[in-house]
Structure 1
Amino acid sequence: MRKGWMPASVLFIALLSACSEDVDKADQLEPSEEPTEEAAEEETDAAPESETEAPEEEAQEDTESGEAAAEPAEEDGTAEEEAPAEEEAQPEEEGTPEEEPAAEEEAEAGDDSVNAAGDKASESEEETNVGLKAYMPDGPMTKTFLQNGEYEATYDIVAVKGNFVQRVITFGDMVTLQVLEWKEGSIAVVYEEYNPKDTSNMLDTFEPVETINVLVDATKGDTDQFQIVDQKATVQSDVQTFDNVIIVRSVSQGGNVITLQSYAPGVGLIDEQIEDNGDNGYEVDSKLTALKK
């Protein structure tokens, strides 16, 4: 055998041994590296777990503290929300009564306007309608007048019903039946008959057809035709002294005839003066001399 030469089989075995040793060394090295990776994994796992647990605990604490803080906040918030709601509700409730009085004030203002208009109308009526019905005869009666101191005329009040007064005027041989319609602002003859056959009460079935003559008209206030001279006059007669007498001046026949009539409350006509300034002028002065009810 040559020095330094080695059989191939021995060389192959040596190579196998060297490879085995390398493999063994690699195997020995792997166990040292595996624990390192496992430790790293354990450290990695442990670190997140600890870090995770810590935030979870903090989160739990924060959650609990948040819930604890949230509960008062919710309660406070609810109270605060409810309080404004109540405050808002209160103004609405307060506003409603304020609106209702406003409506009532408007209604009252409207009612005041209507009342004011009614008052004005009433004042107008009082100005134009002088309450002549107070001067109607209050029942049947007989009044005797003396004209110009020598001629006697009798006024028999036959009946009084509603606005109507039936009277019969006897002057010498002349008999005149009249029905007067007596309103607050006017007195008018609505029926007239000369020398009637029957002078008894006809008012139960009477209905006016036309106006024969207007004795007094104060519905338009003082006019050229009618004027209220006095409403509180005192008139002395042979019968008695009458107070609160109304005196009415009327003009007719183109201004030629001027008449002054005096009416006493509950009696009617108590005095009449006529002045005719026409071609056939004359004067009449009728004074009440007797009154029988």
Structure 2
Amino acid sequence: MKKLSFIALFFVLLLSACSGTDVDQADQLEEPENSETETTEEETPSEETPSEDTEEEAEPSDEEQTEEAPVEEEPSKEEAPTEEEPEVEEEDQSEEAAAEEPTEEEQPEETKDEEEDTVSSASDDSEETEEAGSSAGLKAYMPKGPMTKTFTQNEDYKVKHEVVDVNDRFVQQIVTFGDMVTLQILEFTEGRIAVVYQESNPEDTSSQLESFEAHETIDVLVDATGGSENFQILDEAQTTATPYGEFENVFVVQRTSGSKVTSMYHYAPDYGLIREKVEDKGDNGYTMTSELTEIQE
């Protein structure tokens, strides 16, 4: 019995030893599996990590969507000005219209310019009238049309200048002094007034200007060209008083005949001669003054 018990105990111990060895071997065998499992598990995250990145790249997070949202909205911001471009064009058009239309500040300037133009034109006209004795203005002193001017000579005698006809160059007049009747045609050029035709006691006193041509100069009454020492311009804008009335912008010229006779003529715009004074300082000297007393138009 003891032998059988000893054998049974030995057998149990042997079994337990074997089982322990198997367990250790099993553990050893299982450890690689665990390590492989762990390695697999460790490798799995590494493989899963790219997948997560891929998922993160494929499906951006809320924060990334929030950050990317302005990028998507930027075209709309850039497109907004294109929608507002008509307003810019309208502003440009309004600016062009404003540039075309004078502003409130520019209008006074234009008005001022117009006033200056008016003043300048008026001054030009006055200058032409005042400077009619120059090479550009003696025609301004032609009578404006047919009229009869009556002069009083030395307060005793009457002299009539009947202007029969006027054109752009010539003036035809009949001068009556007592019984003497003289037909004269005066030529008005830019710098000279001259008698170019004269006839005493004419049979025909009607107008001859339609076909008249000047062939010779009989007498030079005024020379404002500066080419003659016999003429001296005394004034170009004098105010001259006559028994008929007062005239402005009167052209006054003095003519010397020889060394002793001096004649002074006053010409008014649109009326011609209005006053004349002749002085002879010779042995039989005299003074004659003829002033305008009446005009019949």
State whether residues 145 and 287 of structure 1, in contact with CA within 8 Å, keep that contact through their aligned partners in structure 2: yes
1:49, distance to aligned residue in structure 2 (A): 0.7
TM-score when scaled to structure 2? 0.55
Query: Hey, what does 1:204 align to over in structure 2?
Result: 210
Q: Secondary structure at the match of 1:192?
A: strand
TM-superposed deviation, 1:287: 5.4
How many residue pairs align between the two structures? 253
Is contact 1:262–1:269 with CA below 8 Å preserved after alignment?
Answer: yes
Query: Where do residues 52-201 of structure 1 align in structure 2 (5 Å cutoff)?
Result: 52-53=51-52, 56-57=55-56, 60-61=60-61, 62-72=63-73, 75=76, 124-129=127-132, 133=140, 136=143, 138-141=145-148, 143=150, 146=153, 149=156, 153-170=159-176, 175-182=181-188, 188-195=193-200, 198-201=204-207
Distance 1:56 1:255, change over 3 A: farther
Once the 2 structures are TM-superposed, how far is the Cα of residue 128 of structure 1 from its aligned partner?
1.1
User: Offset at 1:206?
Assistant: 2.9
TM-score w.r.t. structure 1 length? 0.56
User: 1:178·1:189 contact (CA, 8 Å) conserved in 2?
Assistant: no
Q: For residues 97 and 292 of structure 2, what CA distance do their matches in structure 1 show?
A: 68
- Counterpart selection for 1:233 from 240, 254, 258: 240
TM superposition shift of 1:275: 0.7
Residue of structure 2 in register with 1:215 after alignment? 221
Preserved contact between residue 278 and residue 288 of structure 2 (Cα < 8 Å): yes
Quote the offset at 1:252 in angstroms. 1.9
Residues 1:70 and 1:225: Cα distance change in structure 2 (over 3 Å): same
CA distance in 2, matches of 1:90, 1:291: 68
Tell me how far apart the structure 2 counterparts of residues 291 and 119 of structure 1 sit (CA, whole Å): 27
Gaps of 5+ in 1: 1-28
**Structure 2: stretches of 5+ with no match in the other structure:** 1-27
CA distance in 1 between counterparts of 2:236 and 2:77 reads 86
Residue aligning to 1:26:
none
Distance 1:129 1:288 in 2: 21
Cα deviation, 1:88-129, whole Å, max 9, x if unaligned, reads 99998898789878xx99xx8xx89x9598777556434412
Computed over aligned residues only, the root mean square deviation of the Cα atoms, in angstroms, reads 5.4
- When residues 283 and 138 of structure 1 are mapped into structure 2, their CA distance, relative to the original with a 3 A threshold, is same
Larger deviation, residues 126-135 vs 243-252: 126-135
Structure 1 residues 49 and 119: CA distance shift in structure 2, 3 A: farther
SS at match of 1:225: strand
Cα 1:91–1:121 change in 2 (3 A) is: same
Give the CA deviation at 1:45.
Answer: 2.9
Question: Is the 1:233–1:247 contact (alpha carbons within 8 Å) kept by the matching residues of 2?
Answer: no
Provide the rounded CA distance (Å) in 1 between the counterparts of 2:121 and 2:270.
Answer: 29
Counterpart contact for 1:144–1:291, Cα < 8 Å: no
Q: 1:121 to 1:205 in 2, by over 3 A?
A: same
Alignment partners' CA distance in 2, 1:168 and 1:208: 18
Quote the residue 1:242 is aligned against: 245
How many angstroms apart in 1 are the aligned matches of 2:191 and 2:145? 17
Change in Cα spacing, 1:148 to 1:242, as seen in structure 2 (3 Å) is closer
> Counterpart of 1:158 in structure 2: which amino acid?
V
Which residue identity lines up with residue 210 of structure 2 in the other structure? D
Q: 1:167 to 1:249 in 2, by over 3 A?
A: same
The answer to whether the 8 Å contact 1:136/1:182 transfers is no
Q: Alpha-carbon deviation of 1:225?
A: 0.9
How many angstroms apart in 1 are the aligned matches of 2:65 and 2:233?
Answer: 104
- Alpha-carbon distance, 1:202 to partner: 0.7
How much does 1:173 deviate? Answer: 7.3
| Counterpart code for 1:64 | Q
Task: Decide whether the 8 Å contact of 1:136 with 1:265 is kept in 2.
Answer: yes
Does residue 252 in structure 1 map to residue 256 in structure 2?
A: yes
